[in-house]
Structure 1
């Protein structure tokens, strides 16, 4: 059931109760969790937080912690499955789902007792009507039993097939067929709604408990959705504009000295930010080379592309000696003109405004480094998907939490360095795909697989990094391909998950032509391909377009996928 008043029907109900919070492994969910954690600490609500990395862990975490729990909050997990059917809870347990995954399972939406949805009403407008999904067949069953008579010869029940019962059977069959079609049409595309962190911040605002720190967490959550291609640019801009008014309210600076904010306070400001990953903490040259839009437009993986980049920098008046040292060590005058120069010469090199500029926010805490929202997203995502085999998933979750706390600067620096390694791994792998001509057109889609034993393959066993690789690969291939149809083709990317066990992870992303919608159809396609080939596929991720399977079954799975999508 959709909740309209979050304060009355959600937060006030939790007062003086013990709450279980299940959090997905993504930055948006982590930010939402920290906002909710702050609210609980303000009102002394007892809570237990458990990170869950997939449906199997969600089920296990609930069974382990369900004793004595009446209220369970799920952040960025649980909306796309029938949560009551999956977890089999006691009748008194209530689930509160704040999840950006769409579509929402119809049973969750129409369960008025045990499931409460913390979502925006306009994002669930495509939900099918109740009568199209559910019907009470009690009357039909009773009428059928009345139509049974005792056979005088045998003494057994004999069913009387009169015209009315036949009509009822036909009507029920037609209704079932219509229901199957309605459910398929509703669930054939997956997408994302409003950031969970933004929803939790709006709750804090309504409770008059919002702070600059919570606002920054909401900003990072919204930025995470954009960085990981969950929402289109228009939706991102809409959320950013709604947050800008809160930024102005919390970061007022008056003309009088008394009204100027203290240096030790967190300061958040809105900026037209350069769309260059981690450039303030890297070398400008490296940051440009690892920027997906610029790298794909200039084709920086080729010698000709590198030459064009050198020409671009020279025309802007930025010497290579300056660009190849740390950005913070660049000449101050040159550093201040980087954005202006890029905007001045970008059109000459085929770049557009959205390739080099992203409206975003920056924060500064005391005299520490200026950080933008994308820096936090990359650093926290790298911590969540650490490739250190000695670390447990909960260790990664805590490390990402410490990065978002801002006070542990060494954790932030470690996260930024891990993010650089990830970005290098992605770029190297894309260049390998292109050099080896490994991207294959299967007709209705493109596919490519990361080879086992590749130096950077350890990064791609994690879904977020794999998703970034898939997007980079598709955009790079479209930039070099002479086939005009390639922009309308989706991509399926596979990578080794466990070489010892012979398992692979696979992700499917939509074509670039549908970038304005960000709707993904691979969830249903993967499901149908698995059924038609009897392939053992593990749908463990909260994103149905990310699956796990045996590496040896990959070829026959691709064959089935081709026949389904043709």
Structure 2
């Protein structure tokens, strides 16, 4: 069931006893978790935090921690699964689901008390009626031996009447089942994302009058991740940005009123919303590198080609920015160039078709040296989250990403930014090698790319976020340089080695460029293709468009997928 009064029906309930907090490995979930942690700390609520990478992790975490637990809070996990069927919990345990994955499982929606979905349903969610999906067959059963009211009615005529009723009942049931199958297919065929979980938690804190600028910043970072990874349509992202700007103005004003006059100005947290360039990490990188490794400029200027590199030098020269200046860190550039950099880019954006990098952004400042924009935080957290190695456990990476949101852990954030530079560089170079070798293959109904084996940075693409970013980059670049008019209508499937030892690979599917509303049909298509060819896929991710399968089964799986989508 949906819970709309979060203060009373969620926060008021979990305050009474220790709760279990299961958090997915994504930035939006981490930001929502951070806001909840601040609320829990202020109200002295005891909780156990367990990061979960996939469905099996979630099952294990619940089994290990379910004793003496009455409430389980699930952030960006569990909403699309039938939790009662999967976890077999005691009837006394209540699950509070805060999940941006869609569509929700219908058993969760129509659960009377054990499953509580936080927030109201999205306007676009066409949730089927209860009676169209669930049916109580006990009402259909009739006792054949029941005595007839009419004593004169013969057994033969009674049997005939019951047979006719049985045929009619079966016909009605068959029609109901066919109708149910159609309704379920229409409801479940696309997977997509809804409202940022971080924003939902922040709005709850605001309604309880317990919000602050740090919480608003977490909501901003969570929402920004959805924009950067193209999880939501641009219209929704703009509306959320406007709403968050209003909250920032309100909280900034409140902070200005409450501040002690003797407190030094530089120690105040400042969040500003202003015109900014959508260039990845440019304040912490060189201008040349930021231009080259940002998706929008790399695609528009076709920087993966030799002609593209020449075009980049032309742009820098026409801006009046010497190569010496563009190749040193932004903060080390001459003050004049730093101050005029945005205006320089704006003047040439139209000429070089890079208007998409002109936009707005939120920036957090604390003191003189702590200044980061929301996209800087997202890239840093993504890089830390996906930096697992044999010596570095996923849980450690999760906690490092969580620490990025703390102003006292600047060294971890700086480390994340350095890792993010390397991540963006590797994504660009891998995309460049794929595009130069023309390795984006056309399967008729979708495009396909495979990350070449033996690459020194192949381990990076064993994680879903970098592989999705590579797929989005390669798809936009392919469409930009293709002469085929239908190129923008094709979705793309990307594959990379997941584990060489196990002989498994990771597959992700992304929707076509022409769709501003990013709904993907790959979740159900992957499932059906695997069934058609009897392939075993490991659908362990909370996003159904990400799967794992054996490398030797990949060719027949792709053939089945092509046949299915044709």
Tell me which interval the TM-score lies in, with the shorter structure as reference length: over 0.9
1:429-444 to structure 2, matched below 5 A, reads 429-444=430-445
Give distance in 2, aligned partners of 1:75 and 1:560: 34
Candidates 287, 290, 295, aligned match of 1:287: 290
User: Which residue is equivalent to 1:151?
Assistant: none
1:550-565 to structure 2, matched below 5 A, reads 550-565=550-565
Give distance in 2, aligned partners of 1:30 and 1:101: 15
Give distance in 1, aligned partners of 2:502 and 2:123: 41
Cα distance 1:137–1:20, how it changes in 2: closer, same or farther (>3 A)? same
User: Which residue is equivalent to 2:315?
Assistant: 312
Matched, 1:278 2:284: no
Q: Following TM superposition, by how much is the alpha carbon of 1:124 offset from its aligned partner in structure 2, in angstroms?
A: 6.4
Decide whether the 8 Å contact of 2:492 with 2:512 is kept in 1.
yes
Matched, 1:242 2:243: yes
User: Which residue is equivalent to 2:338?
Assistant: 335
Matched, 1:445 2:446: yes
Give distance in 1, aligned partners of 2:144 and 2:179: 23
Give distance in 1, aligned partners of 2:532 and 2:146: 41
Decide whether the 8 Å contact of 1:265 with 1:365 is kept in 2.
yes
User: Which residue is equivalent to 1:174?
Assistant: 175
User: Which residue is equivalent to 1:385?
Assistant: 386
Q: Secondary structure at the match of 1:404?
A: coil
Per-residue CA deviations over 1:317-357 (Å, capped at 9, x if unaligned) read 111111010000111111111111111111111222xx212
Q: Secondary structure at the match of 1:349?
A: coil
Decide whether the 8 Å contact of 2:471 with 2:492 is kept in 1.
yes
Give distance in 1, aligned partners of 2:460 and 2:146: 65
Give distance in 2, aligned partners of 1:103 and 1:348: 42
Q: Secondary structure at the match of 2:267?
A: coil
1:209-220 to structure 2, matched below 5 A, reads 209-220=210-221
User: Which residue is equivalent to 1:198?
Assistant: 199
Give distance in 2, aligned partners of 1:104 and 1:139: 28
Give distance in 2, aligned partners of 1:161 and 1:505: 56
Matched, 1:266 2:269: yes
Give distance in 1, aligned partners of 2:173 and 2:407: 59
Give distance in 1, aligned partners of 2:359 and 2:63: 43
Q: Secondary structure at the match of 1:405?
A: coil
Matched, 1:404 2:443: no
Decide whether the 8 Å contact of 1:144 with 1:165 is kept in 2.
no
User: Which residue is equivalent to 2:90?
Assistant: 90
Give distance in 1, aligned partners of 2:160 and 2:393: 62
Cα distance 1:209–1:341, how it changes in 2: closer, same or farther (>3 A)? same
Decide whether the 8 Å contact of 1:452 with 1:499 is kept in 2.
no
User: Which residue is equivalent to 1:150?
Assistant: none
Give distance in 1, aligned partners of 2:266 and 2:416: 25
Unmatched tracts of structure 2, length 5 or more: 148-158
User: Which residue is equivalent to 1:80?
Assistant: 80
Deviates more, 1:34-43 or 1:136-145: 136-145
Give distance in 2, aligned partners of 1:254 and 1:52: 39
User: Which residue is equivalent to 1:498?
Assistant: 499
Per-residue CA deviations over 1:158-193 (Å, capped at 9, x if unaligned) read 998611110100110110111111011001011111
Q: Following TM superposition, by how much is the alpha carbon of 1:206 offset from its aligned partner in structure 2, in angstroms?
A: 1.2
Per-residue CA deviations over 1:459-508 (Å, capped at 9, x if unaligned) read 11111111101100101111111111111000000000001110000000
Give distance in 2, aligned partners of 1:479 and 1:504: 28
User: Which residue is equivalent to 2:30?
Assistant: 30
Q: Following TM superposition, by how much is the alpha carbon of 1:9 offset from its aligned partner in structure 2, in angstroms?
A: 0.6
Give distance in 2, aligned partners of 1:435 and 1:368: 41
Decide whether the 8 Å contact of 1:83 with 1:108 is kept in 2.
yes
1:220-239 to structure 2, matched below 5 A, reads 220-239=221-240
Per-residue CA deviations over 1:64-109 (Å, capped at 9, x if unaligned) read 0000111000000000111111111000000000000010111100
Q: Following TM superposition, by how much is the alpha carbon of 1:20 offset from its aligned partner in structure 2, in angstroms?
A: 0.3
Decide whether the 8 Å contact of 1:18 with 1:47 is kept in 2.
yes
User: Which residue is equivalent to 1:534?
Assistant: 534
Decide whether the 8 Å contact of 1:497 with 1:504 is kept in 2.
yes
Give distance in 1, aligned partners of 2:288 and 2:511: 31
Q: Following TM superposition, by how much is the alpha carbon of 1:233 offset from its aligned partner in structure 2, in angstroms?
A: 1.5
Cα distance 1:203–1:454, how it changes in 2: closer, same or farther (>3 A)? same
Q: Following TM superposition, by how much is the alpha carbon of 1:385 offset from its aligned partner in structure 2, in angstroms?
A: 0.7
Per-residue CA deviations over 1:514-561 (Å, capped at 9, x if unaligned) read 1x1011110010010010011000110000000000000000000100
Give distance in 1, aligned partners of 2:469 and 2:225: 12
Residue-pair matches, total = 554
Give distance in 2, aligned partners of 1:144 and 1:75: 51
Decide whether the 8 Å contact of 1:380 with 1:415 is kept in 2.
yes
Q: Following TM superposition, by how much is the alpha carbon of 1:144 offset from its aligned partner in structure 2, in angstroms?
A: 6.4
Unmatched tracts of structure 1, length 5 or more: 148-157
Give distance in 1, aligned partners of 2:392 and 2:199: 30
Cα distance 1:268–1:161, how it changes in 2: closer, same or farther (>3 A)? same
Give distance in 2, aligned partners of 1:162 and 1:129: 31
Per-residue CA deviations over 1:385-426 (Å, capped at 9, x if unaligned) read 114321111111111111111211211111001111110110
User: Which residue is equivalent to 2:329?
Assistant: 326
Decide whether the 8 Å contact of 2:103 with 2:125 is kept in 1.
no
Q: Secondary structure at the match of 2:141?
A: helix
Decide whether the 8 Å contact of 2:76 with 2:101 is kept in 1.
yes
Deviates more, 1:60-69 or 1:379-388: 379-388
Decide whether the 8 Å contact of 1:406 with 1:412 is kept in 2.
no
Per-residue CA deviations over 1:279-330 (Å, capped at 9, x if unaligned) read 1100010000011111111111111111111111111111111101000011
Decide whether the 8 Å contact of 1:16 with 1:46 is kept in 2.
no
Decide whether the 8 Å contact of 1:123 with 1:193 is kept in 2.
no
User: Which residue is equivalent to 1:367?
Assistant: 368
Deviates more, 1:487-496 or 1:34-43: 34-43
Q: Secondary structure at the match of 2:22?
A: strand
Give distance in 2, aligned partners of 1:168 and 1:254: 71
Give distance in 2, aligned partners of 1:510 and 1:124: 18
